[in-house]
Amino acid sequence: MGALIAVAGCWLAACGTGQSGGPAGATTVPASQLALRPSPQGDYTVGVPVGWSAQPVAGTDFLKLTRGGSTSSIDVFPGIVVSDLRYQEQEDSCDQAYEADPFTAPNLTTCSSAAVQTQLQDSSRPWTPQQALQVILTALGQSASFGTPVLTATSSDSAAFRVAGVAQGQPLSTSGFITVLSVRNPLLASGSGSGWTSVALLGACQAPSGQARQVQAVCSQVLGSFHPAAVFWSNLASQLAGRYQQEEQILLQIGDTDAAGFAQSGQLIGQWGSSMQQLQTRVYQSIQASSLDTGQHAIAALGGNNLEQDPGTGAVYSLPAGFGGYCLDTTGTTAVVGSGVTPGVDGCATVLRATS
């Protein structure tokens, strides 16, 4: 769980200035130049602001953005299989105990059996955003401590959240956005019940208390620039199906009786993978539709912003969707958005164009 690093803050406070321009009803919002960066496995892209760097989180397709000389960070964690987190934690504990001393470690069969029972229990129902966030924060407890999160639902499977935390003795302001999508998984059905696999997409920022508002605007732009590749969900489905197949083989090798009920045939794995891939349209629509109202207009949640480009310099900016025109002012750090934008009007200096 060390791979799941601390999360934190931009969502509930207004990220735009909300200032009205002239009669055209133009609005100004912060604009940060971004460089589009692919994820470690190429399954999505996200914008990285000038002065920030993106590091892959070891063993995952996640990215953590940091800024030199600052403890603030922006985390893009799409595809956390929350229904498997406690199982994986128990399996890791079994492995570590065995590697430390195989003679005093718990019986490997018994230890794995207990982990599988936890997995079946956690896969017996679809997860809510609150349940998913709580298990993620618990996993993060090794590197930070968190209070009780406050969630504001934006749909039945999505929520904005805010939670106070402490890391290395430093108070943290933590907030973000989480959406959870669940799919029936016959591999994890127990008894007469249904099996479910629940996957969370988490976009979040972290900043020391008192500094969160300073990074709110750039945080919103980065998370809004998230764009999944066409293969994102099919690749995730394939990876999970392969992992469940491997788990079944390990259980059979150690003689665990749970293996018989864990998977009946390879055909079930194929069926589950297919149903997972069918979520792609729903996931995309859910992300686009789930936005947080920040006063003057809605700043879309993870992945909902427009990517606009300066035709002269090629610089890319992540800006709120839903406006007819976008341009930069003379400073290059503020965008003017509205139903239409004209150079020289409402502070507009350079008209931006949608990226191809």
Which residues form the domain of 109?
47-304
Domain count, the chain: 1
pTM: 0.72
Res. 302 pLDDT band, cuts 50 70 90: low
265 Ramachandran zone, left/alpha/beta (phi>0; psi -120 to 50): beta
Strand ranges, E, within 100-184: 145-146, 150-155, 158-167, 170-184
> What number is the average pLDDT over the span 128-153?
87
Q: Which of 104-108, 110-114, 220-224 is the most confident on average?
A: 220-224
Domain contains 5? no
Domain contains 145? yes
Residue 204: CB partners within 8 Å, gap ≥ 6?
Answer: 7, 8, 9, 74, 75, 77, 174, 175, 176, 177, 223
Domain contains 298? yes
Domain contains 41? no
Domain contains 149? yes
pLDDT score of 267 more than 80: no
Domain contains 236? yes
Domain contains 111? yes
Domain contains 309? no
pLDDT score of 50 more than 60: yes
> What number is the average pLDDT over the span 80-100?
86
Res. 215 pLDDT band, cuts 50 70 90: confident
